[in-house]
Amino acid sequence: MSSKYRTITVTPLSPALGGEISGVDIAAGISDEQFAEMRRAFIDYGVIFLRDQDITPDQHVEFARRWGEINVNRFFHPVDAHPLIAEVRKEPKQKANIGSSWHTDHSYDQVPAMGSILYAREVPSVGGDTLFASMYAAYAALSDGMKQMLGSMNAEHSSRHAFGEVAYVETDLEDLGGRLGNTASATQDSVHPVVIRHPLSGKPALYVNGDFTVRFEGWSKAESQPLLDFLYAHASQHEFTCRFRWQQGSMAMWDNRATQHLALNDYHGERRVMHRITLEGVALGPATA
Ligand code: SIN
């Protein structure tokens, strides 16, 4: 339990990351001081959680706007009558879920999204937890030699293989029918430092992820893949993670530049419906600059 906050209480979920905030009721209104402390907790913990929030989609949008500009995801189905909110839904008859492997949202964009605010509307009786991993902890645990090499490297990221037509043909995305779409818009390519300086904390963080990173700049895919695979396995070690168990009315807000996340797909036959608002970020620079 941290005492550096006056208007909220933050309980860490694990030593690596994640803080559950209590003392906040979004529907009743958040004071400027509370908001400033939530923002500080977001920077300190990488991902923050709230429970028992009873909010409408409009209140979700209003809360998100307090953090910054909203980024509308190109591929997710929007919530009916709320085009700024993406729906993350799995129906009882569907097998695949959205986000089942470790990833960082929107790293394929040249200016990647800051993070997302995910709100639980309907959850399975058990299962459907979300795992988060700290990319600060992952970076810090690398050897000095690896840090030095990665510090001067960039990586290429893309949406093409993940959300384009090929993803529907070659992977299980067909089972996501009606929940992801717009394959023709999957044309984003970007290059980012492998180790970024976090724009809010100033700390170095590992910035490659299994869903969207394609290769290291100047390296072939065959050369890149063994080192990328090592980094993905390294970054998802249990001691760098925390795990959040959802209830209806729970909310998570994560920072894509400091974390990766994975939505567990262990609740077949039950429905899970989440509302996600993504926030605009800033261009990312290297930790070495
Ligand atoms: C996502 O990757 O945005 C989905 C996370 C979740 O459903 O828990």
Expressed in angstroms and rounded, the spacing between residue 130 Cα and the centre of ligand 1 is: 7
pTM flag (> 0.85): yes
Helices (H), 97-195: 135-140, 144-150, 160-163, 165-170
Pocket of ligand 1 (CB under 6 A): 88, 98-99, 116, 118, 130, 261, 263, 274, 276
Backbone angles phi, psi at 22, to 5 degrees: -125, 165
Please report, for residues 8, 19, 215, the alpha-carbon distance to residue 22 in angstroms, rounded to integers and kept in the order given. Answer: 6, 10, 41
Q: Retrieve residue 131's tokens.
A: 């795992």
Domain architecture of the chain: domains with CATH? 9-280 (3.60.130.10)
Catalytic residue among 198, 261, 272, 275: 261
Q: Retrieve residue 147's tokens.
A: 């840090």
Q: Retrieve residue 229's tokens.
A: 């695979």
Expressed in angstroms and rounded, the spacing between residue 289 Cα and the centre of ligand 1 is: 32
Q: What is the pLDDT along the chain (289 residues), one digit of tens a residue?
A: 446 899 999 999 999 999 999 999 999 999 999 999 999 999 999 999 999 999 999 999 999 999 999 998 777 788 889 999 999 999 999 988 888 999 999 999 899 999 999 999 999 999 999 999 999 999 999 999 999 999 999 999 987 677 766 665 555 555 655 556 667 677 778 999 999 999 999 999 999 999 999 999 999 999 999 999 999 999 999 999 999 999 999 999 999 999 999 999 999 999 999 999 999 999 999 998 6
